[in-house]
C-alpha cells in the first residue's frame, strides 16, 4: 500500500496557460530560452547526445512555418508519417502554427493503409522518415492529393524516395532566410482555437479505428487542466508513439509547455540502455512497459536468490515509513540504478495496471500515478496525484471537466461519460458515429464501465471493464473480463492474459469463459515447472474457488506467441480466435 497517498485538501498545482500551440512555443522561448528542450541520438551506438534549446526550437518552428505558408500550405491538411523524433515535434508544432490540420499516421501501417488515410483526409503534404520511404513512394503513386513530400532525419544517398521530395532542413533554411528579410507571415497567421487542428486515427483494438477530430482548444485545454494535477520533474524520456494522443498531448506538449527536457528513445529494444544514458526522472508509459520492468526486476532477484530478501526489505521499509523514516532510495539503490538511477515517478495510462505492481514500485521508491483517458478526450480524463492516490482508482476527474455514470445499476455502476473543453469535435466524415457517443448534453460516452465515488468534494473514477468486452451469460449475468484478467495476471509466470467468451459451433450461448495465457516460459523453467498447462489450471482453479460461480474460468489456453498488439501496445482482442471446438 502507498503511504503518501492520503493527503486531503490537496491544492491544484499552478501551471502554464495558453490557447494554441504557437502561443505555447513563443512563451517557452521567452520563459526557458537557454534551457534544453529536446535531446536525442542519431543511432543506438552514437555516443553523442544532440540537444536543442527552447529558443532554438522556437526559431526552427518559425522558419519551417514561414516556408510552409509560402508554399500555400496554410490551413491545409498535412500528414506526419514517422516514429517520434525532434523533427516530428517541429513538424507538428509548425502545422499547428499555420492553422493547418495535422494528420499523424502510424508508420507501422501497410503502404495501402497509409495511402488510404492520406487520400481520405486529402493531405496536401506529407512529412516522413527513412524507414517509411518505400511506403511513401507507393503513396505518391496512389494518393494524388499530396504535392509536397518532406524528408525528416537521416537518409542514405542510395535510398529511393518520392520524386521531388525535399528535406525538412532545406525548408527550414529557406524559411529562415525569409524571416531574416522581414517575412512575418508566421506571427500574423490567424489561428482559430475552436477549428479542426488534427485528425488522430484510433488503433482499433476491437475493430477498425475512426478518425478523431481535435481542435487546438481540445489539445491545449487538456494540457493546461491536466497539468494542474501533477508535479513533474525537469527531465523525461519519450517512448510512446506520437500518432496517439497520450504520447503527443501528455508526453510531448504537456512536458514541453512546462519547460521540461524531453529525451527521445530510438525504440523499445533500447529503452533500458537509454534510461541509463538520459537518466529520466519521470516517464509517461503504458502498462506493458511497467509490467516488463517489474518482471525483469523479479526475474533478476529470483535468479540471484534474493527475491525473498527483497520482499522482506520492502516490508521492513514500509514499516519504517509508517514511523516517518523513508530510506527507499538508499535501500533499493541497486534496483533503481537499473533505470538510470534518478527515476522518481511514472504516469501510467492506456490500460489497467495491477495494484500489486503499483505497490511494488512504491515500495522501492518509484511512484506510479495511474490515470485514465481516451483519444476522443484529447486524451486525459482523470488521474491520481503525486500525494493523493487511491488504490483501484484511475484518479480524480480533471479540473474543467465533469464525469457521470450513464444509466447506473443498483450498485451505481454503468458507462462512464465525460464532458469538458477537451472532448473531440467528432469523428471524421462520420456524423452517425459521432451522434452515437456524444449526447445532447455534450457528454462523451466512453464505452468503459465503472463507478464514481466522491472523496473530499472531488469525483474519483473506478473502472470495471470495457463495454465491448463485456460477457453476457445465458442467465443474464454480466462478466467483466478485465476483473478476471487482473486476478490471473498476479499468477507467477503470466506474461499476458485475455479472458473472453469462447464460441462453439451450433451453440447460441457464451457460457464458456476462456482464459488465454501467454506464459513466461523462462521464468517457469527457473522454478522447474515443465507442465505449463497443468500449472496454470491449478492456479486458475484457486482463483475460481474465490470467485462467484458465474465468474469461473472454464477453459485455459496456452499461447506460444504474444498477443497481437497495436502500436500503443494494447492487445487487439478482435484478432483472437475465440472458437473452442
Please determine, for residue 338, whether its predicted confidence score (pLDDT) is greater than 50: yes
Mean pLDDT for the stretch of residues 416-428: 98
- 166-167 and 148-152: which strand pairing? parallel
Please determine, for residue 563, whether its predicted confidence score (pLDDT) is greater than 60: yes
Q: Which pLDDT score is estimated for 511?
A: 73
Q: Model confidence over 139-194: pLDDT tens digits?
A: 999 999 999 999 999 999 889 999 999 999 999 999 999 999 999 999 999 999 99
The CA distance from 119 to 115, in Å, is 6
Mean pLDDT for the stretch of residues 445-463: 93
Lowest mean pLDDT among 85-94, 222-231, 545-554: 545-554
Mean pLDDT for the stretch of residues 326-340: 96
pLDDT tier for residue 36 given thresholds of 50, 70 and 90: very high
Mean pLDDT for the stretch of residues 563-569: 79
Q: Which pLDDT score is estimated for 375?
A: 94
Q: Which pLDDT score is estimated for 155?
A: 93
- SS3 call for 281: coil
Can you give 64-78 as a three-state secondary structure string?
HHHHHHHCCCCCCEE
Identify the residue with better confidence: 570 or 389.
389
Spell out the alpha helix ranges (H) of 71-167. 86-97, 111-121, 133-142
* Distance in angstroms between the alpha carbons of the first and the last residue of the chain: 43
Q: Which pLDDT score is estimated for 4?
A: 44
Q: Model confidence over 190-242: pLDDT tens digits?
A: 999 999 999 999 865 444 579 999 999 999 999 999 999 999 999 999 999 99
How far apart, in Å, are the Cα atoms of 45 and each of 158, 270, 277, 319?
22, 10, 12, 44
Lowest mean pLDDT among 61-65, 196-200, 270-274, 469-473: 469-473
Can you give 346-383 as a three-state secondary structure string?
EEECCCCCCHHHHHHHHHHCCEEEEEEECHHHCCEEEE
C-alpha cell at 349: 495510462
**C-beta separation of 257 from 228 below 8 A:** no
Q: To 5 degrees, how large is the angle CA 185–CA 81–CA 162?
A: 85
Q: Model confidence over 458-469: pLDDT tens digits?
A: 999 999 887 778
Please determine, for residue 3, whether its predicted confidence score (pLDDT) is greater than 50: no
Q: Model confidence over 508-547: pLDDT tens digits?
A: 555 789 999 999 998 899 899 999 999 999 999 999 999 8
Q: Which pLDDT score is estimated for 476?
A: 64
Mean pLDDT for the stretch of residues 10-22: 94
Q: Which pLDDT score is estimated for 188?
A: 97
- 426-427 and 478-479: which strand pairing? unpaired
**C-beta separation of 230 from 383 below 8 A:** yes
Q: Which pLDDT score is estimated for 478?
A: 73
The residue written with cell numbers 458465474 in the block is 550
> What does the DSSP assignment read for 36-52?
EEEEE-SSTT--PPEEE
Q: Phi-psi region for residue 438, left (φ > 0), alpha (ψ -120 to 50) or beta?
A: beta
Domains observed in the chain: 21-270 (3.40.50.12780), 282-464 (3.40.50.12780), 470-575 (3.30.300.30)
The residue written with cell numbers 509548425 in the block is 94
C-alpha cell at 445: 460516452
- For 109, other C-beta atoms within 10 Å of its C-beta total 18
Identify the residue with better confidence: 445 or 572.
445
386-416 as b/e: b if 16+ CB within 10 A: bebbbeebbbbbbeebebbbeeeeeeebbbb
**C-beta separation of 71 from 100 below 8 A:** no
Please determine, for residue 505, whether its predicted confidence score (pLDDT) is greater than 70: no
pLDDT tier for residue 248 given thresholds of 50, 70 and 90: very high
Please determine, for residue 474, whether its predicted confidence score (pLDDT) is greater than 80: no
Q: Looking at the chain, how many residues does it have?
A: 581
C-alpha cell at 182: 522581414
Lowest mean pLDDT among 50-59, 153-162, 254-263: 153-162
Residues 6+ apart with CB under 8 A from 576: 498, 500, 516, 563, 564
**C-beta separation of 420 from 219 below 8 A:** no
**C-beta separation of 376 from 423 below 8 A:** yes
The CA distance from 103 to 196, in Å, is 11
Mean pLDDT for the stretch of residues 88-109: 97
Amino acid at each position: 500500500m502507498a503511504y503518501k497517498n492520503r493527503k486531503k485538501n490537496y491544492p491544484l498545482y499552478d501551471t502554464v496557460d495558453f490557447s494554441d500551440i504557437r502561443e505555447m512555443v513563443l512563451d517557452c522561448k521567452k520563459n526557458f530560452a537557454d534551457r534544453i528542450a529536446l535531446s536525442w541520438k542519431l543511432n543506438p551506438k552514437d555516443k553523442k547526445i544532440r540537444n536543442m534549446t527552447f529558443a532554438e526550437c522556437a526559431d526552427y518552428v518559425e522558419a519551417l512555418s514561414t516556408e510552409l505558408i509560402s508554399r500555400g500550405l496554410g490551413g491545409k491538411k498535412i500528414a506526419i508519417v514517422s516514429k517520434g523524433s525532434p523533427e516530428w515535434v517541429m513538424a507538428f508544432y509548425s502545422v499547428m502554427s499555420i492553422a493547418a490540420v495535422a494528420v499523424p499516421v502510424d508508420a507501422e501501417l501497410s503502404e495501402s493503409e497509409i495511402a488510404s488515410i492520406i487520400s481520405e483526409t486529402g493531405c496536401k503534404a506529407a512529412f516522413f522518415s527513412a524507414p517509411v520511404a518505400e511506403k511513401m513512394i507507393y503513396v505518391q503513386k496512389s494518393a494524388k492529393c499530396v504535392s509536397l513530400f518532406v524528408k525528416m532525419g537521416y537518409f542514405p544517398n542510395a535510398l529511393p524516395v518520392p520524386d521531388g521530395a525535399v528535406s525538412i532542413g532545406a525548408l527550414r533554411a529557406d524559411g529562415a532566410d525569409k524571416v531574416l528579410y522581414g517575412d512575418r507571415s508566421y506571427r500574423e497567421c490567424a489561428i482559430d482555437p475552436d477549428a479542426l487542428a488534427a485528425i488522430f486515427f484510433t488503433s482499433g483494438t476491437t475493430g477498425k479505428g475512426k478518425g478523431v477530430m481535435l481542435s487546438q482548444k481540445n489539445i491545449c485545454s487538456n494540457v493546461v487542466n491536466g497539468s494542474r494535477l501533477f508535479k513533474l520533474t525537469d527531465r523525461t524520456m519519450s517512448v510512446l508513439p506520437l500518432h496517439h494522443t497520450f504520447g503527443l498531448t501528455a508526453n510531448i506538449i504537456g512536458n514541453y509547455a512546462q519547460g521540461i527536457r524531453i529525451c527521445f528513445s530510438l525504440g523499445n529494444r533500447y529503452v533500458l540502455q537509454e534510461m541509463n544514458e538520459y537518466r529520466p526522472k519521470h516517464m509517461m508509459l503504458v502498462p506493458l512497459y511497467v509490467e516488463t520492468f517489474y518482471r525483469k526486476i523479479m526475474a533478476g532477484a529470483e535468479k540471484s536468490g534474493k527475491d525473498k530478501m527483497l520482499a522482506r526489505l520492502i516490508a521492513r521499509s514500509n514499516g519504517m515509513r509508517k514511523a516517518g523514516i523513508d530510506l527507499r532510495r538508499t535501500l533499493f539503490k541497486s534496483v533503481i540504478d537499473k533505470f538510470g538511477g534518478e527515476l522518481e515517478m511514472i504516469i501510467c495510462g492506456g490500460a489497467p495496471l495491477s495494484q500489486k505492481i503499483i505497490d511494488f514500485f512504491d515500495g522501492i521508491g518509484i511512484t506510479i500515478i495511474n490515470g485514465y483517458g481516451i483519444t476522443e478526450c484529447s486524451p486525459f480524463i482523470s488521474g491520481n496525484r503525486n500525494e493523493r492516490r487511491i488504490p483501484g482508482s484511475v484518479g480524480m476527474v480533471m479540473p474543467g471537466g465533469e464525469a457521470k455514470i450513464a444509466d447506473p445499476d443498483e450498485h451505481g455502476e454503468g458507462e462512464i461519460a465525460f464532458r469538458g473543453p477537451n472532448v473531440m469535435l467528432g469523428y471524421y466524415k462520420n456524423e452517425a458515429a459521432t451522434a452515437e457517443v456524444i449526447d445532447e448534453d455534450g457528454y462523451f460516452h466512453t464505452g468503459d464501465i465503472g463507478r464514481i465515488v466522491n472523496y473530499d468534494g472531488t469525483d474519483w473514477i473506478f473502472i470495471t471493464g470495457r463495454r465491448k468486452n463485456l460477457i453476457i451469460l445465458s442467465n443474464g449475468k454480466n462478466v467483466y473480463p478485465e476483473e478476471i484478467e487482473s486476478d490471473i495476471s498476479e499468477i507467477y509466470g503470466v506474461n499476458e492474459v485475455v479472458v473472453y467468451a469462447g464460441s462453439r459451433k451450433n451453440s447460441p450461448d457464451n457460457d464458456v469463459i476462456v482464459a488465454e495465457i501467454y506464459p513466461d516460459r523462462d521464468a517457469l523453467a527457473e522454478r522447474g515447472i515443465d507442465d505449463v498447462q497443468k500449472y496454470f489450471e491449478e492456479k486458475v482453479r484457486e482463483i475460481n474457488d474465490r470467485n462467484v460461480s458465474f465468474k469461473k474460468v472454464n477453459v485455459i489456453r496456452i499461447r506460444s506467441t504474444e498477443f497481437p498488439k497495436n502500436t500503443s501496445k494494447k492487445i487487439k482482442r478482435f484478432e483472437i480466435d475465440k472458437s473452442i471446438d
